[in-house]
C-alpha cells in the first residue's frame, strides 16, 4: 500500500478521452488502409483520365475549354474548383495515379473524421465511433475516396457546412456561420449539384420553425452566393450546354432502389449479387425507419430525424428536379451517403434496438461492406480497362504506317494518358447526341481533334488497331444491329488478322488487303 501512495492514476474522464482518441485513430487507420488498397493497380476510366489531362493545362486553359461558346456540350460543365486544386497538387507531387488519387484519399479521410465530429455533435460518443467506422468501411465512400474526381471534396465541404450549421444553430457563434458560408461556396465551386444538399439544410430551420437560425443561415447563404458569384453568372450558359448535350437520362423510380444499394454496397455488382444487396439495403433502411418512428412516438428522435432527412431529402430533391432536366447521378449524393452512416449508427446504438435485431443489422452491414470492397478492388469491366498495359503492348508491335483508332473518346483519353507519343485517333460522337460532350474548345485545350468517321481516321493506313468497349458492341447487337458500322467498314477495306480481349475492351487488328 505504501507504493500506491506514490503512484498517480489518471482521472476517469481522462481515461475516457484517451480511449476515445485511440479509437478515433484506429478507425482512421482502418479507413486509410481500405482506401490504399489497389491505389496503383486499379485501372482508370475516361473521367479520371480527363481530370489529369485537363487539370495539367492550368487555370487559363481550363476556363477557355469549359466556358467557350462552341455550340456543343463542354467536356466538363463542372466548376473548376477541384481541377484547380488538382493542378496545384500535381505541380508538387506529379501526375502518377498514386499522386493524383492521394489527393482524393486525403479528402476521404477528412470526411471520415467529419462524420465522427458531426455524429458526436448530434448524438453521443458511442454513436460517433460507430458512424465513423461505418463511413470508414463504406464501399461507396471508399470508391470515391480513390477516384480522381471531385466527389470526395464535394462530400468534405458539405459535411463541414453541415457541421458548421449544427454548431451555429446551437451556439449562435458567428465563426460557425462564416465557416458555413465559405464551405458552401467551396462546395458549389466543386460541383453544381451541391445546391441540392444546401437547399435541404436551408429548409431545416423552416421545418423546425426556428426563425432566428433561419435569418442567420440566410445571411450566411447570401455571402456564400457573393463568393460564388464569379461562377454563378456562368450557370445559364452552362445549363444551356446541358440542354444541348448531356448523357444523363431521366431517372425512373427504380433508381431510388439503386440508391439504397449504393449506400450499403455501392455499384456495380455482379448480377447474382444484386438481389442480395438490395435485400440488405432495404432491411437496413426498414429497421432504421422503424426505430426512428418508435423514437418519434417516445419523443426521443430529435436529431435522428435530422440525420434521416439529410440522408434522403437531397436525393429526393435531385430525383424530382431530374424529371424536368435530368442531372441525377448517384456519385453526387456522396455527402448524403456519409450522413446515412450517421443515421444508421444512431438507429443501432441509440434507439434501444433489440439485441438480436442489432446483431442482424451489424452482420448485414458487414457482409455488404465486404461485398462492395471486394467488387471495387477486383472489378475490371466497363468503363475500366488496362490501358497502360495495352499501350505497352501496342507500342511493342507498332510498325510504320500503323494507326490506332478508338471508337470514341471513352477509350482514347485513358490510353492517351499513359503514352502521349502513340499515333492514336478517335471517332467523334454523333453531333447533338447525349454522348456528344467533348466540345471542340476542350479538344483544343487537350491537344486532340476527333476524326469525323472511321474512313477519315484510317486514310493511308497500312494496318489498323481498332479499340472499342465490348459493351458498345453488345448494346448495338441488343438493339437489333448486326455489326458495328466501324467494323463493317474495316471489314470492307482491310483484312481482319486478329482480335484480342483486354478485360472490357476488344482490339481488332486489320491489315491492308493485298
Sign of CA dihedral 231, 235, 236, 237: positive
Give CA–CA dist 68/2, Å, rounded.
82
Reported as a single tens digit per residue, the pLDDT across 46-87 is 999 999 999 999 999 999 988 887 655 545 678 999 999 999
In 3D space, the residue among 95, 98, 99 whose CA is nearest the CA of residue 53 turns out to be 95
Sign of CA dihedral 372, 377, 381, 384: positive
**Domain 387-512 falls under CATH 3.30.70:** no
Give CA–CA dist 340/140, Å, rounded.
11
The string of DSSP letters for 105-137 reads HHHHHHHHHHHHHHHHHHS-HHHHHHHHHHHHT
Q: What angle do CA 128, 134, 140 make, to 5 degrees?
A: 135
Sheet holding 505-512, edge to edge: 424-426, 402-406, 463-469, 505-512, 494-502
Distance of CA 142 to the CA centre of its chain: 10
Strands (E), 321-478: 402-406, 424-426, 463-469
DSSP label at residue 252: P
Q: What is the pLDDT of residue 126?
A: 92
3 state SS of 140 = helix
Which cell numbers in the block locate residue 447?
Answer: 491537344
Q: What is the pLDDT of residue 335?
A: 98
pTM: 0.93
Q: Do 27 and 112 touch, CB atoms closer than 8 A?
A: yes
| Helices marked H in 379-419 | 387-397, 409-418
CA distances from 56 to 17, 61, 89, 94, 230 (A): 44, 9, 10, 10, 22
Beta-carbon count within 10 A of 420 CB: 10
CA distances from 448 to 53, 54, 129, 425, 444 (A): 11, 12, 49, 8, 6
For residue 236, give every residue at least 6 positions away whose Cβ sits within 8 Å of its Cβ, in sequence order, or none. Answer: none
Instruction: Report the chain (514 residues): mean pLDDT per 10 consecutive residues.
Output: 37 52 92 95 94 96 84 67 98 96 98 97 94 97 97 98 97 96 98 96 95 96 96 78 68 94 95 94 94 78 89 97 92 97 95 89 95 95 94 95 95 95 92 76 92 95 96 83 88 95 95 84
Stretch(es) of the chain classified as CATH 3.40.50: 387-512
Any idea of the CA torsion for 155, 159, 165, 167, to the nearest 10 degrees? -170
Q: What is the pLDDT of residue 69?
A: 72
Q: What is the pLDDT of residue 175?
A: 97
For residue 227, give every residue at least 6 positions away whose Cβ sits within 8 Å of its Cβ, in sequence order, or none. Answer: 181, 182, 185
The string of DSSP letters for 53-91 reads HHHTT-HHHHHHHHH---SS--S--S-SHHHHHHHHHHH
Q: What is the pLDDT of residue 155?
A: 98
In 3D space, the residue among 161, 162, 156, 176 whose CA is nearest the CA of residue 122 turns out to be 162
Q: Do 331 and 148 touch, CB atoms closer than 8 A?
A: no
Q: What is the pLDDT of residue 476?
A: 83
Which cell numbers in the block locate residue 8?
Answer: 498517480
Strands (E), 187-289: none
Reported as a single tens digit per residue, the pLDDT across 336-388 is 999 999 999 999 998 888 899 899 999 999 999 999 999 999 999 999 999 99
Amino acid at each position: 500500500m505504501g507504493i500506491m501512495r506514490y503512484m498517480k492514476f489518471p482521472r476517469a474522464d481522462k481515461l475516457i478521452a484517451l480511449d476515445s482518441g485511440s479509437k478515433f485513430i484506429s478507425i482512421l487507420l482502418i479507413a486509410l488502409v481500405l482506401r490504399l488498397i489497389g491505389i496503383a493497380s486499379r485501372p482508370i476510366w475516361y473521367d479520371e483520365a480527363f481530370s489529369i489531362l485537363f487539370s495539367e493545362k492550368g487555370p487559363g486553359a481550363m476556363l477557355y475549354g469549359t466556358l467557350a461558346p462552341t455550340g456543343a456540350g463542354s467536356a466538363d460543365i463542372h466548376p473548376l474548383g477541384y481541377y484547380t486544386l488538382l493542378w496545384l497538387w500535381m505541380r508538387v507531387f506529379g501526375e502518377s495515379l498514386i499522386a493524383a488519387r492521394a489527393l482524393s484519399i486525403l479528402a476521404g479521410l477528412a470526411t471520415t473524421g467529419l462524420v465522427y465530429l458531426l455524429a458526436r455533435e448530434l448524438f453521443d460518443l458511442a454513436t460517433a465511433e460507430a458512424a465513423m467506422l461505418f463511413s470508414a468501411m463504406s464501399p461507396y465512400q471508399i470508391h470515391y475516396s480513390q477516384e480522381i474526381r471531385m466527389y470526395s471534396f464535394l462530400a468534405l465541404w458539405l459535411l463541414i457546412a453541415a457541421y458548421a450549421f449544427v454548431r451555429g444553430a446551437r451556439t449562435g457563434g458567428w465563426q460557425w456561420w462564416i465557416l458555413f458560408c465559405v464551405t458552401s461556396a467551396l462546395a458549389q465551386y466543386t460541383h453544381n449539384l451541391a445546391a441540392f444538399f444546401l437547399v435541404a439544410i436551408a429548409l431545416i430551420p423552416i421545418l423546425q420553425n426556428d426563425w432566428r437560425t433561419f435569418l442567420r443561415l440566410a445571411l450566411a447563404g447570401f455571402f456564400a452566393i457573393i463568393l460564388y458569384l464569379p461562377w454563378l453568372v456562368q450557370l445559364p450558359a452552362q445549363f444551356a450546354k446541358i440542354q444541348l448535350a448531356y448523357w444523363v437520362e431521366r431517372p425512373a423510380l427504380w433508381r431510388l432502389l439503386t440508391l439504397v444499394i449504393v449506400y450499403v454496397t455501392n455499384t456495380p455488382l455482379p448480377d447474382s449479387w444484386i438481389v442480395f444487396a438490395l435485400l440488405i439495403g432495404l432491411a437496413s433502411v426498414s429497421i432504421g425507419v422503424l426505430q426512428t418512428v418508435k423514437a418519434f412516438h417516445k419523443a426521443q428522435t430529435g436529431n435522428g430525424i435530422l440525420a434521416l432527412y439529410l440522408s434522403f431529402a437531397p436525393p429526393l430533391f435531385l430525383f424530382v428536379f431530374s424529371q424536368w432536366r435530368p442531372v441525377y447521378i448517384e456519385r453526387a449524393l456522396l455527402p448524403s451517403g456519409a450522413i446515412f452512416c450517421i443515421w444508421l449508427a444512431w438507429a443501432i446504438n441509440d434507439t434501444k434496438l433489440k439485441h438480436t435485431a442489432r446483431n442482424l443489422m451489424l452482420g448485414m452491414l458487414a457482409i455488404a461492406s465486404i461485398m462492395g470492397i471486394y467488387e471495387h478492388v477486383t472489378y475490371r469491366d466497363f468503363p475500366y480497362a488496362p490501358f497502360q498495359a495495352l499501350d505497352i503492348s501496342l507500342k511493342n508491335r507498332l510498325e510504320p504506317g500503323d494507326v490506332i483508332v478508338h471508337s470514341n473518346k471513352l477509350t482514347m483519353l485513358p490510353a492517351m494518358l499513359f503514352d502521349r507519343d502513340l499515333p492514336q485517333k478517335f471517332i467523334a460522337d454523333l453531333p447533338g447526341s447525349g454522348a456528344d460532350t467533348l466540345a471542340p474548345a476542350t479538344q483544343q485545350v487537350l491537344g486532340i481533334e476527333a476524326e469525323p468517321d472511321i474512313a477519315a481516321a484510317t486514310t493511308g493506313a497500312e494496318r489498323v488497331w481498332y479499340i472499342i468497349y465490348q459493351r458498345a458492341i453488345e448494346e448495338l447487337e441488343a438493339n437489333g444491329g448486326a455489326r458495328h458500322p466501324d467494323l463493317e467498314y474495316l471489314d470492307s477495306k482491310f483484312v481482319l488478322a486478329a482480335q484480342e480481349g483486354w478485360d472490357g475492351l476488344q482490339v481488332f487488328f486489320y491489315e491492308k488487303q493485298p
